[in-house]
Chains A and B, each alone.
Chain A
């Protein structure tokens, strides 16, 4: 069995004339925490959206556990406008899975701007995310004949809420939680889909240093507890350097560096593009 769980090959995403991601190749091994960093607008979330099936890549392919989840080459109008890398490699059969299909295969995600189910309680938010593994059809479900399944889902939800320390607010409305807890809830909800790969889109955004520190311990904890591989986009350098096994850096959609945290910290290209450009 292949060691890498996610493999992105020559991914290019072009919107109109803008090449948001250009020739991005990377891989995530089983059990790794890999970070994707870069200045604002570098194309990080776009890359995420390609992996999760929200966007159809303009060119390139993505493999999850050795299985193609996306593969395409420029078609139609884009063939003339295309400004990315060499497109000949992926001509032919294109593969596109919808986001729900990708999630069923085992990739779960959180969102940069929190997207909880606002009309539901904390408990129901997590329980709803278990729906995709449901075996019973709507008739059986409506007549509540799937008692065992429903009970199992509820118990799993309680355990999950316990694991993320949200048990005491289980009956509160999701939107009434403080910001930090909403972020935790998003992660819990993603975990409820039973993923093998978890994609975190800026999980520490808006958190104070102490919360950020707790978050990095938390990410390590869930990685071990749920045997996950984690792909993370983040701006907090402390968090990234602390938890990542490997880091990829992109700027203007192009990969400019990759390696372990120590290498990245000392990489002149990164310092110029990222740290130098933004922080000083």
Chain B
């Protein structure tokens, strides 16, 4: 029996995947040391890493547990605020909370602790909101979670909570990605880490989600996705497992929110709109509902297209003396929408379907043998 279990699947694809990912990390690190830090590449990589984590956390719910939730922006907001509130340096609080006498929170914690706080706060809210909301199915659940996200956004801007949330004013001065760069005494950067660290945070979180998906609990989630009635008849407690998936997903959305705060260097509740959730939903769908690799891949693709590669469409372009027609502010979004429609039309199940990175190597090796 034993050799059956271990011999069945070749380990090569998994090792190859690890190698590819490791190589990518090394490349990012090297690029960061040698390219100018103002390059658009790093903006895309940082935001891409952030969105990748949030997209994977959403995929854990939508793709692996079959819970259609649209509350992601809300949980990101909670994470971003928690992170910011707990990390603004004490001497800056008076300036940040200028309308609220320096705010109510008078201590700060190290960045890693604050990241975990951000996740826990989001998970806690998810647990509470999950109690009533997870009884709902599909569309109704989506509407309820969307409503929740909007309510959270309003509450965080409420003036009465000002001493904590700074009302509708922005939170700033907290450590951002650039503070990860190692500087010498003269203040010059010796080792650039402002892109590598977000990759590490995001990578660790996504690795944890992948481990969860491949554990017994992950199988139980998939069982609920495939057939709720059968899952329950096989002894899987639906309420408990849905609650668990919802809280875990929100935990990572919270961490992702904290990363977004670091990326933006400021946080303001009004920017966490439902449009943000839709962006992430779009990433998940384009990457493939039920594929972690797809979500990660399409995050970078999405961010690169929207922030970088299609920028030229917003400006006047001259080829020789010929002015290309139609190109003006806003045209980028038109092209972008068309591309998305094409992707959805030709890749019905997203770019990756339900395949993961090791599956790509598996197919290749099989073809090689044939």
Do A and B belong to a common assembly?
Answer: yes
Q: Which residues of A contact B (CB under 8 A)?
A: 52, 54, 98-101, 103-104, 108-109, 111, 115-120, 124, 127-134, 136, 138, 141-144, 146, 150-151, 153-155, 158-159, 171, 189-190, 192-193
Question: Among A103, A118, A134, A151, which residue has its beta carbon within 8 angstroms of that of B233?
Answer: A103
Cross-chain contact A109 with B233 (CB below 8 angstroms): yes
* 8 A Cβ contacts from B215-270 to A: 215-217, 219-220, 222-223, 225-227, 229-238, 244, 248
- Residue among A100, A136, A154, A189 having the largest count of chain B Cβ atoms under 10 Å: A100
Query: How far does the Cβ of A164 sit from chain B's closest Cβ, in whole Å?
Result: 16
Cross-chain contact A117 with B223 (CB below 8 angstroms): yes
Cross-chain contact B227 with A155 (CB below 8 angstroms): no
Please name the residue on chain A nearest to B354 by beta carbon. Answer: A119
Cross-chain contact A132 with B219 (CB below 8 angstroms): no
Cross-chain contact B223 with A52 (CB below 8 angstroms): no
Cross-chain contact A171 with B8 (CB below 8 angstroms): yes
Cross-chain contact B230 with A116 (CB below 8 angstroms): yes
Q: Which residues of B contact A (CB under 8 A)?
A: 1-2, 4-5, 8, 208, 211-212, 215-217, 219-220, 222-223, 225-227, 229-238, 244, 248, 290, 354
Query: How far does the Cβ of A78 sit from chain B's closest Cβ, in whole Å?
Result: 22
- What are 18 A-B pairs with beta-carbon distances under 8 A? A100-B232, A103-B232, A104-B235, A111-B233, A115-B233, A117-B230, A117-B231, A118-B227, A120-B223, A128-B222, A129-B234, A131-B216, A131-B234, A134-B216, A138-B215, A142-B211, A150-B216, A193-B235
Please name the residue on chain A nearest to B66 by beta carbon. Answer: A119
Question: Among B4, B226, B236, which residue has its beta carbon within 8 angstroms of that of A100?
Answer: B236
Cross-chain contact B235 with A103 (CB below 8 angstroms): yes
Residues of B within 8 A of A158 (CB): 1, 4-5
Question: Among A136, A138, A154, A189, which residue has its beta carbon within 8 angstroms of that of B234?
Answer: A189
Residues of B within 8 A of A108 (CB): 233-234
Query: How far does the Cβ of A99 sit from chain B's closest Cβ, in whole Å?
Result: 4
CA distance A100 to B226 in the complex (A): 16
Cross-chain contact A111 with B230 (CB below 8 angstroms): yes
* Interface residues of chain B: helix, strand, loop or mixed (majority): helix
Query: How far does the Cβ of B322 sit from chain A's closest Cβ, in whole Å?
Result: 53
Residues of B within 8 A of A116 (CB): 226-227, 230
- Residue among B1, B230, B231, B232 having the largest count of chain A Cβ atoms under 10 Å: B230
Cross-chain contact B238 with A100 (CB below 8 angstroms): yes
Cross-chain contact A119 with B216 (CB below 8 angstroms): no
Cross-chain contact B227 with A128 (CB below 8 angstroms): no
Question: Among B5, B211, B235, B290, which residue has its beta carbon within 8 angstroms of that of A131?
Answer: B235
| Given A119-B226, A119-B354, A98 contacting B232 (CB threshold 8 A) | yes
Cross-chain contact A144 with B219 (CB below 8 angstroms): no
Cross-chain contact A98 with B237 (CB below 8 angstroms): yes
Residues of A within 8 A of B227 (CB): 115-118
Cross-chain contact B235 with A142 (CB below 8 angstroms): no
Query: How far does the Cβ of A253 sit from chain B's closest Cβ, in whole Å?
Result: 23
Query: How far does the Cβ of B343 sit from chain A's closest Cβ, in whole Å?
Result: 22
Residues of B within 8 A of A100 (CB): 232-238
Please give 14 more A-B residue pairs, beta carbons under 8 A apart, in addition to A119-B226, A132-B235. A54-B233, A109-B233, A119-B354, A120-B222, A124-B222, A127-B216, A128-B231, A131-B220, A138-B212, A138-B217, A141-B216, A144-B211, A150-B216, A154-B5
Question: Among A99, A119, A130, A142, which residue has its beta carbon within 8 angstroms of that of B212?
Answer: A142
Residues of A within 8 A of B234 (CB): 100, 103, 108, 128-129, 131-132, 189-190, 192-193
CA distance A142 to B206 in the complex (A): 12
Per CB-CB distance, the 3 closest pairs between chain A and chain B, nearest first, are A132-B235, A103-B235, A115-B230
Cross-chain contact B230 with A155 (CB below 8 angstroms): no
CA distance A144 to B2 in the complex (A): 18
Cross-chain contact A128 with B219 (CB below 8 angstroms): yes
Question: Among A129, A141, A155, which residue has its beta carbon within 8 angstroms of that of B235?
Answer: A129
Query: How far does the Cβ of A155 sit from chain B's closest Cβ, in whole Å?
Result: 5
Please name the residue on chain B nearest to A124 by beta carbon. Answer: B219
CA distance A119 to B8 in the complex (A): 20
Residues of A within 8 A of B225 (CB): 119
